[in-house]
Amino acid sequence: MRGVAILTEGRSGSNWLGSLTNATGLMGRSEEWLDPAYLRFDPRTYDDLEKAVIEKASTDNGRFAIKLFPRHLAWCKEKFGKDFLFEIRRKHGLEFILLERRDRIQQAISFYRARMSGMWTSRHEGKVNPRSVPYSFADISQAYFQIDRSYAFWRSYLQLAGLDCRQFVYEDLQQDPRPYLEAVADYMGVQVPEDTANSRFTIQRDSLTEEWIVRFREDAAAKGAIEGIGEMAVPRTLDNIARFALKRPLIRKRF
């Protein structure tokens, strides 16, 4: 089998690009398959995980696509003691795509609003209306630094493993995503359909986003990067309560 691993972080345009490749029916099914919530299955062993992920991520022509954030690899390592990508590339042909977003402030604002509202795409209902989420310089700052750490992680991961990748920037693809589709299709050994412009997702950016960008820049000019310095406070989540009881490391990331 042959597939692609899209290495990125949330709010990078990966849902939109994935919807375009998925719509072809030839380039795998790109999604966060290392998240049990998407997998809809809680694997007990690594072999169970790998089998389920490949099945979910594959199209009938034997091509697969998996979108990963650094936390997905961390989860797999903690649960099974395995580097998922290392295991997969030993058994299958695997191309790496590094997808970034140039405007990190806009990405951080989008990340924070999605996390607090639960509305990660235009197709999600969410917990609350994204416009009702309160502005928070501290939380957006933390999201900003986390996003940058995630991209740095992927670059270091690829360099340490001696792996090549194809690199794309979301803003460069907004007007014409075809270079991305052509790169995936080239590796998959399939043709890109003529009609590739339609996606089931719509842009979630709104006037509030633009207002927050101005406000965040003003706050950053007045306060500096103080909210991004040091370790984050440990979130009070059910997962962390269970980890504390089991004397396992607590998760500090909020996003």
Domain ranges of the chain: 2-194+206-245
pLDDT in tens, 95-134: 999 999 999 999 999 999 998 988 665 454 556 677 889 9
Q: What is the DSSP string of 77-118?
A: HHHHS--HHHHHHHHSEEEEEEEE-S-HHHHHHHHHHHHHH-
- Helix, strand, coil fractions of the chain, as percent rounded to 5: 50, 10, 40
CA atoms 108, 111, 114, 116: torsion sign = negative
Distances in whole angstroms, Cα of residue 205 to Cα of each of 109, 156, 232, 254: 10, 31, 27, 22
Kindly calculate the radius of gyration of the chain based on its CA atoms and give it in whole angstroms: 19
pLDDT of amino acid 21: 97
User: Class for domain 2-194+206-245, per CATH?
Assistant: alpha beta
Global confidence as pTM: 0.87
Q: Name the 3-class secondary structure at 11.
A: coil
In the predicted model, residues of the chain with pLDDT beneath 70 are 119-128, 196-205, 231-255
**Strand pairing class (93-100; 63-68):** unpaired
Contact 82, 190 (CB under 8 A): no
pLDDT of amino acid 44: 97
Residues 205 and 209: their CA atoms lie apart, in Å, by 6
3 phi/psi in degrees, rounded to 5:
-155, 180
- Listed in order, strand segments (DSSP E) in 83-207 are 93-100, 166-169
Residue 66's Cβ-count burial label (10 Å; 0-12, 13-18, 19+) is: buried
The neighbour count for residue 24, using CB atoms within 10 Å, is 20
Residue 94 bridge partners (DSSP): 3
Residues 48 and 66: their CA atoms lie apart, in Å, by 16
* Token representation of residue 190: 């399939």
Contact 143, 108 (CB under 8 A): yes
